[in-house]
Each structure stands twice: as structure tokens, then as C-alpha cells.
Homo-oligomer: A and B are copies of this chain.
């Protein structure tokens, strides 16, 4: 294994080891002192540290060392690493800060460190990290003392920040979740998310993986590693940086999004479960470590509660997360009706009223329902009235036994600790935590379904469109070649041509300025709708001529058949600096960009991806908004694919935007289209 000497070392040198309390090298030496392989303190002063002989330098050890942990000032790091290389050390952790995160000098030093490590073939974790913990092997290569009591178990944490790594490890332990590994990547000059994920994918002792992501330089590499890993085991991601604003793109396709949402969407598309906070990460890992729901397009959840109020909290949280809670089959309802008094709520969720002895069989009946893929059970701790562990056993013996169950309860900590010991499953201690853990279980199942149908990776097309800028007319020709419906229209160079076009098309028509340099035609009075007469047309052409004159260009016109009314969407494709080709679907209309959450994915897109994008539009729009016909979902999905295809097939297309895509009775029509080409550096210019 590539990261074997880093993560499963047999011999460890602590460089900067110290007996002075308060120093990082002191704490490091102590946390590592329980390691049952060979541990070598290194300090220029030599002597004895933590009861072991200290060596002046790594080269003095004279025995095989896999891993060197460095707690030395940043300036000393390159020399120590070179020593390590000479001594045959193949992995190192640099805990010190003061590198790229600390300005230009630090960045230069970081480059030196990276080069030295590469020269000597050393896999480097950090710099600027707290290291890692590997409880099963007794390796606690970090400087917070209580890590040595972290329990071993099935979960791996990979955090961008060393501090967050430890915070997450402690939270996991507090919930009874043991760790296979907890790694803080720090500045990640060598070992990054992809390396650790590939290592964990192949590690049988790792059952579930939690990631903490701030931002990465190569998003595709992260996403592809997640996809490779998630095939075999669940990957749960906490993305931080919600409030950052990025430069997703030049036009307002970019202005309405940011890397936070794109990162989340891309990771979910690659098979990860994306969560909102550390507690949710830990609960998701606990739920998934106990078992996954098989890959399913839209898994259905059953809910059985002993109290209606917590049931409402669960149903509310599941609905907010978009988790289906389907009605039970007639047969299941009949059986539940036999088991419960008539006053209780017998659909899904099923509330039993105060639990009676039929509770386990009610739960088993719901679990066995054909529409149910996972079951959530919640009841306050009332040992006289209900035994949750026995309930789980009854479900296990019944036809519902194949369905994963999550259990929640309320009671004092000591009581719930006792219940947890009786269960083979994680116990969730509030109804909303149960619901969010269930949402994660369902998200993992849907992600696995999506992942199995993932589109092939992206590579350059070897084809270009430029160098001439692309005007609206040509953009529409191209999009039509890729299957998009565009209005009948004429590209006109003269006013006379425009008048012929009006005659040929009949009114009403839309008249627009045709100039590849203008992205927002409305902003320069370059669009006139509802033109029916020659007089109207002259008026419109006058306005365009004035705009062109103001911009110093020759006026040219586009005259096109006006489409019928209908709701409008925006469909865009762009090249994100971090993730490469990305696609956006959003509600249209001026002002929406201030309010709506755009729906984002990386390109290329699978059929599941485009279906999911369309399904994420507001339900009221899809159903037929204000008298409109229901949205033709397949046609909108096809339009998204067309826009993506134009970008994917031409390496010099920076951005494609159809705004609006109008949803007419006859299907979606691209009323406007912009294609922006990559510009050579120094020629960038924005007009309009």
C-alpha cells in the first residue's frame, strides 16, 4: 500500500521531541509513547526524552524508521527531511505551521519542503497539520493528549484541517463510534484527499469514511477519488465555506452560484452523502457503519413512533430533506389496524399512541411493506411499556428483517447508555437526529444508484469553435445541432433584410441587436418584443442603431418568431476553475438570480443526473405553473444535455448560456443563447 509507511508504520522518529511541558514536541512524544513498534525521540541535545534515548539526528538512529514526525521550526524542516531521506525514511508528518498559509515567504519555504520530500521519495503529510490517529495500531501522531483514549472502530475521518480532524474524532468517540483512522491533511502538498481515499478504499478495516472539505485546488481529482471509493463503502462529506463567494464564471451564470454549492453538488453526484454540520456527519457515519440500504432510485422510509409529537418532528425533518415517506399498502394498513386501537394514526408515519405489546409487530409490519426500504423507530424510554431491543429482534425475525432499522429514544443519559448496550444498532438520542441519520442512509442509497450510472469522466474534445466570437444566431444554430429547439429566425445585416424577415415570419416577432460582444442585450435596449407592424419594426431598429452607435459597432439584427408565453428557465454550462465543466439549471426571469438556488452538476451528465436536476425544480413549476401545462421533464433534461454538449465538444468554449429557456405548450424553446469563447490572456473585455 502506497501510504503504508505513513499510516501503519513499524518504526517512528519524533523529530523535535522534548521533555519541556507545553511544547508540541513534548505532547507528541507522550501521545506516541504507547506505540508498540519502535519509537525514537530525536533532539540535537540528545540525552533521554520520555524515558527513551534521544538521537541528535534521524541519521543517527541506525535502525529502520518508516515515519518521521516533525515538530520543529519551519525553517528547519527542509534539512530534517533531507536527513530523513538519507536515513531511508519513506514517510513524514510536518506539524509546524508557517508555510503557504502564512504568506509569500512561507509559500516559498513550502515549495522547498515539497521538492526535498519528492527528491527523497518521502510521502509527506502536511505541513500545518495536527497529524493523525490510528487507534488500532496505537499510533497517535498528534499533540492533543487525550487522543490516546480514542477507541478503535470502523470509521475513518479525513479532514482538511488538523484541528477539525481531532474535533470530529472526539465527537465520534462521544457517540460511541470507534475510529480506524483520523487524518488532518493540513496544507496537503503531497498526501491529499485522493491518496487517503484510495488507501481507505482498499482497507478492509474501514467501513465508512467521513470527509471535512474546505476547498481543493483540483476538484475533479477529489470527485473522482470519491466516486472510486463510494462504490465500495459510504463516503460522507461536511463541506465548510458556505459563505464564501467564488468566481464560478464571468457572466451571471457564475454570479448566481459559488464553489460551495458546486462542491456539494459534485460530491453528491460522485456518490457521497453531503451533510450540514459535524453532528450530522457523525450520526451519518454511525448509521452507515451499521448497514447500508441497497442502491435505490428513491428509497421509501417507514416511521413508527410511540409519541405523536416526536413523530411530527421526524416527518417534518424527513420531508425537508426530500425523503419519501410513502403510504403503506392496503394489506399493511389492514394489519396495522388490527394491531392498534382505532385512535392512533395508522398511515406512514404510524403513531401507536402510548406503546403497547403490539408495538414490535406494528414495526415489523411496516418494515415488511413493499414500499419501505428503511425503518425509523422512535419512542421515549418507558421500559414497562416497550423494549426497543426486543422490537429490533422481532423485526429481524419477520419479513421486514432485510430492511435496515434506525432507532431513537429519549431518556436520561445513563438510561440511554444502558439501552445502547442492549442494541446492536446505534441509538439516536433525539427525534431530529434520528431523522437526519435516516436521511443520510437514504441519501447513500440514492447516491449508490446514481454512482452506478455515472457518466464517463471528462477529457478534452480536441475540437474548437473559435477564434471568431459566436453571436446569438450562430449559438442557436449550434445548439439546434445538439438537439435544442430554437425559434424560427433571420439573421439580418440591413434594415431591409429585417423588414423582409418580418414579412416572412409574420408578427409578432422579437427584434434584437446581433453582436457577439454583448451578453446582456436588454441592458443596452437591444431587444424589442411584440413587433407586429413595419412602423413597430422601424422603431425597434432605430433603438438598436442608437445602441450600436453608442457602442461604436455596425448594427446587425436578429428577427425571430415570438414564442408563446410560459415559465422560463436558465440553462448554463461553464468551466469552473476547480472542477472543470459544470452545468446549471435555474428558474429564469430578472431578479431570480438574487433569490433562487441554482441546480448544479459537473459535466458530463448521466441520465440520472439530468433527471435529478429537473426533479429539483420547484414542484409547483413542474406540475404546471399558473395554468401552464405540466413541464415536459424529459425535454428539459434533453435541453440541459444539449447545452452541456456544446461546451464538452469544443475545448475553447468557456461558457454556454440559454436564458431564457421558455417552457411552451410545444416544449422548451431557447429564446436567447450566448456562447463565450476562452480568450487569450490580455484580451479579456466585458461589454453590455
User: Which residues in A have some Cβ–Cβ distance to B below 8 Å?
Assistant: 21-22, 24, 26-27, 97-98, 101-102, 106, 130, 143-146, 149-150, 159-167, 170-171, 173-174, 184, 212, 214, 240-243, 277-279, 305-310, 312-313, 315-317, 319-320, 342-343, 353-354, 357, 380-385, 410-415, 429-433, 520, 523, 530, 532-533, 535-536, 539, 567-568, 587-592, 594-597, 618, 620-621, 625-627
Chain B, Cβ-Cβ closest to A74: B343
Chain B nearest CB from A215 CB (Å) reads 10
Check B163 against A240 for contact (C-beta < 8 Å). no
User: Which one of A145, A167, A279, A431 has the greatest number of beta carbons of chain B within 10 Å?
Assistant: A167
Chain B residues whose CB sits within 8 angstroms of the CB of A320 once the complex forms: 242-243
A588 in complex: contacting residue of B24, B380, B591, CB < 8 Å: B591
Q: How far is the CA of A313 from the CA of B615 in the complex (A)?
A: 31
A592 in complex: contacting residue of B21, B308, B595, CB < 8 Å: B595
Chain B nearest CB from A448 CB (Å) reads 26
Q: How far is the CA of A161 from the CA of B589 in the complex (A)?
A: 43
Check A384 against B98 for contact (C-beta < 8 Å). no
Check A353 against B97 for contact (C-beta < 8 Å). yes
Chain B, Cβ-Cβ closest to A345: B101
Check B149 against A412 for contact (C-beta < 8 Å). yes
Check B242 against A625 for contact (C-beta < 8 Å). no
Q: How far is the CA of A590 from the CA of B432 in the complex (A)?
A: 35
A382 in complex: contacting residue of B145, B310, B430, B535, CB < 8 Å: B145
Chain B nearest CB from A373 CB (Å) reads 20
Chain B nearest CB from A149 CB (Å) reads 5
Check B539 against A532 for contact (C-beta < 8 Å). yes
Check B595 against A412 for contact (C-beta < 8 Å). no
Give 18 CB contacts A-B under 8 Å.
A27-B385, A102-B342, A161-B308, A163-B309, A170-B410, A171-B430, A214-B309, A240-B313, A533-B535, A536-B536, A567-B590, A567-B591, A589-B591, A591-B592, A591-B621, A592-B596, A594-B620, A596-B596
Chain B residues whose CB sits within 8 angstroms of the CB of A164 once the complex forms: 307, 309-310, 313, 431
Chain B, Cβ-Cβ closest to A280: B432
Check A278 against B383 for contact (C-beta < 8 Å). no
Check B310 against A384 for contact (C-beta < 8 Å). no
Check A174 against B429 for contact (C-beta < 8 Å). yes
Q: How far is the CA of A651 from the CA of B296 in the complex (A)?
A: 55
Check A163 against B310 for contact (C-beta < 8 Å). yes
Chain B, Cβ-Cβ closest to A26: B384
Check A171 against B316 for contact (C-beta < 8 Å). no
Check A307 against B162 for contact (C-beta < 8 Å). yes
Chain B residues whose CB sits within 8 angstroms of the CB of A98 once the complex forms: 343
Chain B residues whose CB sits within 8 angstroms of the CB of A150 once the complex forms: 412
Chain B residues whose CB sits within 8 angstroms of the CB of A184 once the complex forms: 309
Chain B nearest CB from A250 CB (Å) reads 14
Chain B residues whose CB sits within 8 angstroms of the CB of A620 once the complex forms: 594
Check B523 against A381 for contact (C-beta < 8 Å). no
User: Which one of A161, A307, A597 has the greatest number of beta carbons of chain B within 10 Å?
Assistant: A307
Chain B nearest CB from A121 CB (Å) reads 29
Check B161 against A312 for contact (C-beta < 8 Å). yes
Chain B residues whose CB sits within 8 angstroms of the CB of A594 once the complex forms: 587, 596, 618, 620-621, 625
Q: How far is the CA of A171 from the CA of B279 in the complex (A)?
A: 15
Check A144 against B595 for contact (C-beta < 8 Å). no
Check B415 against A380 for contact (C-beta < 8 Å). no
Chain B residues whose CB sits within 8 angstroms of the CB of A592 once the complex forms: 587, 589, 591-592, 595-596
Chain B residues whose CB sits within 8 angstroms of the CB of A433 once the complex forms: 279
User: Which one of A27, A410, A627 has the greatest number of beta carbons of chain B within 10 Å?
Assistant: A410
Chain B residues whose CB sits within 8 angstroms of the CB of A430 once the complex forms: 167, 171, 277-279
Q: With A167-B430, A433-B279 in contact, do A24 and B354 touch (Cβ < 8 Å)?
A: yes
Chain B, Cβ-Cβ closest to A383: B145
A384 in complex: contacting residue of B145, B174, B412, CB < 8 Å: B145
Q: How far is the CA of A373 from the CA of B309 in the complex (A)?
A: 37
Question: Knowing that A24-B354, A144-B411 are A-B contacts, what are 6 other residue pairs whose CB atoms are under 8 Å apart, sorted by A's residue number?
Answer: A27-B382, A143-B354, A160-B309, A164-B431, A532-B539, A587-B591
Check B535 against A309 for contact (C-beta < 8 Å). no
Chain B nearest CB from A624 CB (Å) reads 12
Check B627 against A523 for contact (C-beta < 8 Å). yes
Check A167 against B240 for contact (C-beta < 8 Å). no
Q: With A146-B381, A627-B523 in contact, do A161 and B535 touch (Cβ < 8 Å)?
A: no
Q: How far is the CA of A520 from the CA of B590 in the complex (A)?
A: 19
Chain B, Cβ-Cβ closest to A433: B279
Check A22 against B385 for contact (C-beta < 8 Å). yes
Check B412 against A146 for contact (C-beta < 8 Å). yes
Chain B, Cβ-Cβ closest to A174: B413
Chain B, Cβ-Cβ closest to A435: B277
Check B431 against A242 for contact (C-beta < 8 Å). no
Chain B, Cβ-Cβ closest to A625: B594
Check B171 against A410 for contact (C-beta < 8 Å). yes
Check B240 against A144 for contact (C-beta < 8 Å). no
Chain B nearest CB from A181 CB (Å) reads 17
Q: With A308-B161, A596-B596 in contact, do A626 and B523 touch (Cβ < 8 Å)?
A: yes
Chain B, Cβ-Cβ closest to A170: B410
Chain B residues whose CB sits within 8 angstroms of the CB of A597 once the complex forms: 595
Check A310 against B539 for contact (C-beta < 8 Å). no
Check B161 against A307 for contact (C-beta < 8 Å). yes
Check A312 against B171 for contact (C-beta < 8 Å). no
Chain B residues whose CB sits within 8 angstroms of the CB of A312 once the complex forms: 161, 214, 240-241
Check B380 against A167 for contact (C-beta < 8 Å). yes
